[in-house]
Structure 1
Amino acid sequence: MELESIDTQKWIELGTDYGLKVIGAIVIWIIGSWIIKKIRNGIAKVMAKQNYDESLQKFLLNLIGWILKILLILTILANLGIETTSFAAILAAAGLAIGMALQGSLANFAGGVLLMIFKPIKIGDLIEAQGELGVVKEIEIFTTKILTPTNKEVIIPNAALSNGNITNYTTEGKLRVDLTIGVSYDADIKQTKEVLMKVLTDNPQVLKDPAPSVNVSELADSSVNFAVRPYATVADYWDVYFGTIEKCKLALDAAGIEIPYPHQVEIQKKG
Structure 2
Amino acid sequence: MEQFLTDNQALVDQVIRIVTQGGVNVLLALAILVVGYMVAGGIKKAVLRAVERNPRIDRTLANFFASMVRYAILVVVFIAVLSRFGVETTSLVAAIGAAAFAVGLALQGTLGNVAAGVMLVFFRPYSLGDFVEVGGVSGTVADINLFTTELNTPDNKTIIVPNGQAWGNVITNYSVKPTRRVDITFGISYDDDINKAMEVIRAHYDADERVLKDPEFFLGVIAHNTSSIDIVTRAWVKTPDYWSVYFDAMKGIKEAFDANGIEIPYPHQVEVRKKA
Deviation digits for residues 55-103 of structure 1, max 9, x if unmatched?
4444443333222211111122224432112322332232223222222
5 Å matches for 1:253-264? 253-263=258-268
In 1, Cα distance between equivalents of 2:93 and 2:244: 62
Q: CA deviation at 1:264?
A: 6.7
Identity of aligned residues (%): 36
Matched, 1:151 2:156: yes
Which one of 25, 40, 54 corresponds to residue 29 of structure 2? 25
Matched, 1:40 2:51: no
Q: What residue in structure 1 maps to residue 206 of structure 2?
A: 201
Q: What residue in structure 2 maps to residue 184 of structure 1?
A: 189
Q: CA deviation at 1:218?
A: 0.8
Matched, 1:62 2:67: yes
* Matched-pair contact (CA < 8 Å) for 1:215–1:227: yes
Which one of 163, 168, 171 corresponds to residue 166 of structure 1? 171
| TM-score, with structure 2 as normaliser | 0.85
| TM-score, with structure 1 as normaliser | 0.86
5 Å matches for 1:213-252? 213-252=218-257
Q: What residue in structure 2 maps to residue 111 of structure 1?
A: 116
Q: Which amino acid aligns with 2:87?
A: I
Q: What residue in structure 1 maps to residue 78 of structure 2?
A: 73
In 1, Cα distance between equivalents of 2:120 and 2:217: 34
The 1:266–1:226 alpha-carbon spacing in structure 2 relative to 1, beyond 3 Å, is: closer
* Secondary structure, aligned partner of 1:191: helix
Deviation digits for residues 150-170 of structure 1, max 9, x if unmatched?
433222111111111101111
Note the residue ranges of structure 2 that are not aligned, 5 or more in a row.
Answer: none
Q: Which amino acid aligns with 2:31?
A: V
In 2, Cα distance between equivalents of 1:47 and 1:150: 37
Q: Which amino acid aligns with 2:43?
A: I
* Secondary structure, aligned partner of 1:235: helix
* Secondary structure, aligned partner of 1:177: strand
Q: Which amino acid aligns with 1:81?
A: G
Deviation digits for residues 222-257 of structure 1, max 9, x if unmatched?
222111111223322211111111111222333333
* Matched-pair contact (CA < 8 Å) for 1:175–1:237: yes
* Secondary structure, aligned partner of 2:240: coil
* Secondary structure, aligned partner of 1:146: strand
* Matched-pair contact (CA < 8 Å) for 1:197–1:213: no
Per mean C-alpha deviation after superposition, the further-off stretch among 9-18 and 174-183 is: 9-18
In 2, Cα distance between equivalents of 1:209 and 1:152: 37
Matched, 1:11 2:20: no
Note the residue ranges of structure 1 that are not aligned, 5 or more in a row.
Answer: none
In 1, Cα distance between equivalents of 2:240 and 2:230: 28
In 2, Cα distance between equivalents of 1:265 and 1:218: 20
Which one of 107, 132, 138 corresponds to residue 137 of structure 2? 132
In 2, Cα distance between equivalents of 1:205 and 1:195: 18
* Secondary structure, aligned partner of 1:66: helix
RMSD: 2.5
Q: Which amino acid aligns with 2:73?
A: L
Q: CA deviation at 1:207?
A: 2.6
